[in-house]
Amino acid sequence: MPNILVVDDEKIICESLAMILASDGHAIDAAEDGLDALGRLSEKKYDLVITDMRMPRMDGMELLKTIQHQWGAQTPVILISAYANEAAVSMALDNGARDLIVKPFDIKTVCESVNYVLSHTAFPSVEELEKIQKEKIQNRQQEQETQKKILEYSVLDEIGKTVSASSGIEKIGSTIISMVQQIMDANYALLVIYQPDKSGYKYRCAYVNGQVAWVEPTVADEYVLEWLLKERRSLFVKDLSKDRDFSDGYPTGSLLAIPFMRKSQVLGALLLHNKDNSKPFKSDAMQFLSVTASMATAAIENTNLYNELGSYFNGTVKALISTIEAKDSYVWNHSSRVARYTSLFARNLKLNALEQRRLEYLAMLHDIGKIAVPERILRQKAKLNDWEKQILSTHVVVGENIVRSINFLPEGTKIIRAHHERFDGSGFPDGLKGDAIPLFARIISIANVFDKLTSDYPGFQTMDVNDAVEFMIRDAGKAFDPYLLNIFLTAFRKTGIRDF
């Protein structure tokens, strides 16, 4: 994680820059003027200094000259000024500044400037190489976390479909409890729904010994359920061996319980117990359970949350894609546009509603594997060398592994893996040819290339729409399925780019 020092006598500017750069994955420190900055530079190594031009005691130009004299090119400097003219820019660059940002600045300009300067700093030191290795580890961790989040929301989507499609509380209850157990990896899970007058249970089921069964709550379960009825809030005990209130019934492990609330009324509850002390539940699991509880409440009230859940999951997928596209400002909203272009195929191929929805999600997720690709390669506008191309091409395999956990996207792994295959068999990673390439992968390939050609995408020459169409027609039968390309272009001419 690059260390950046922001220098400005205006506190709000420092805070704004810190917020922008921290969200882009940088560690930020602030100094109020040039002398303060030199003190910090003497105590800590910074990968970049961003400084205002006009400050008391020591201004930005003097600070720049001092940094160049003491630390040289290893500490690059970006200047910021509200009074930048041609002479000021020339002076800044002549004195060694790597860039000059004009106030008021916008997020995109700051991020592009900072990432460009950081990526073009000469010859990394041993410390910087260690940072690169740490970043790789962080990317793998982020990939795993992303996969976990997608699994959680795919499970929620499946629960939502069951809530919408089934009027039987037994089907809804068993689906919720089995899928929650899958995510939480609990030894024991219990779901109960109360009679309206709380005189007994309208429904109860538990996940025990690997299967869902109709059971009576134990004495320990009843104690927890009574606590939920009284307190009307969630319960989380990370280590039951250290807890006085609930350890009699559950002597080891951890415990999670959440009520199904409608206003101040408890309609039911979900209880989870893990006996293994080495695998306690985490506190952030409560967010997932809270959404599950909301859905269970809706099912009990016989409301239809299916469309709302679809929008929720759709927004979550977009948020995950945004974390990737934020690594590369040049392709912002690329995945969303690709998804919209695939809708042209959906209508003309007469796909049913479920197939259209699956195609949209796969189009949005087609580049999810780029979460494991270094930012430097994603942002690079110059032609990639063979090693960089190889690294970039791994995103299809990473993406395949990430979507493997999404149960409602059958064949999703094959489609994500194959979206860079070419119709003539010259694509990657498997050299599939013609109809051997999955239908949805052939569709996404066309939408993907069209958007790259008509937007400022690294490695592609930007074209107007007509030139892009001609380019793709010339590649029909080579890169693209000619039948599908004709469907896309015919529908696109009728619709027009303004609708996208």
Give the C-alpha separation, 357 to 158, whole Å.
13
What global pTM score does this model have? 0.44
Q: Which residues span the domain enclosing 117? A: 3-123
Is 216 within a domain? Answer: yes
pLDDT of 327 above 80: no
**What is the C-alpha R_g of the chain?**
28
Give the C-alpha separation, 155 to 2, whole Å.
36
Is 423 within a domain? Answer: yes
Same domain? For 431 and 378 the reply is: yes
Nearest to 1 by CA among 160, 171, 111, 135: 135
pLDDT of residue 122: 53
Q: Which of 39-43, 170-174, 289-293 has the lowest mean pLDDT?
A: 170-174
Domain edge (last residue) among 269, 301, 333: 301
How much of the chain, in percent, has pLDDT values that exceed 70?
80
Give the C-alpha separation, 113 to 90, whole Å.
17
pLDDT of 40 above 70: yes
Question: What single string gives the DSSP state of each residue in 323-387?
Answer: HHHTT-GGGTTHHHHHHHHHHHHHHHTT--HHHHHHHHHHHHTTTGGGGGS-HHHHH--SPP-HH
Q: Which tens digit of pLDDT belongs to each residue from 444-490?
A: 999 999 999 988 776 677 788 889 999 999 999 999 999 999 999 98
Give the C-alpha separation, 327 to 325, whole Å.
5
Is 159 within a domain? Answer: no
Q: Which tens digit of pLDDT belongs to each residue from 136-164?
A: 677 777 776 666 666 666 666 666 666 55
C-beta of residue 152 within 8 angstroms of C-beta of residue 288: yes
Q: Which tens digit of pLDDT belongs to each residue from 348-380?
A: 788 877 788 889 889 988 988 888 888 888 877
Same domain? For 374 and 313 the reply is: yes
Give the C-alpha separation, 466 to 454, whole Å.
10
pLDDT of residue 500: 46
C-beta of residue 25 within 8 angstroms of C-beta of residue 1: yes
Same domain? For 102 and 31 the reply is: yes
Same domain? For 409 and 468 the reply is: yes
Same domain? For 312 and 406 the reply is: yes
Q: Domain holding 66: CATH number?
A: 3.40.50.2300
Same domain? For 345 and 483 the reply is: yes
C-beta of residue 466 within 8 angstroms of C-beta of residue 493: no
Give the C-alpha separation, 32 to 35, whole Å.
8
Q: Domain holding 466: CATH number?
A: 1.10.3210.10
Domain edge (last residue) among 123, 154, 182: 123
C-beta of residue 339 within 8 angstroms of C-beta of residue 363: yes
Phi, psi of 485 (to 5 degrees): -60, -40
Q: How many domains are contained in the chain?
A: 3
Same domain? For 292 and 320 the reply is: no
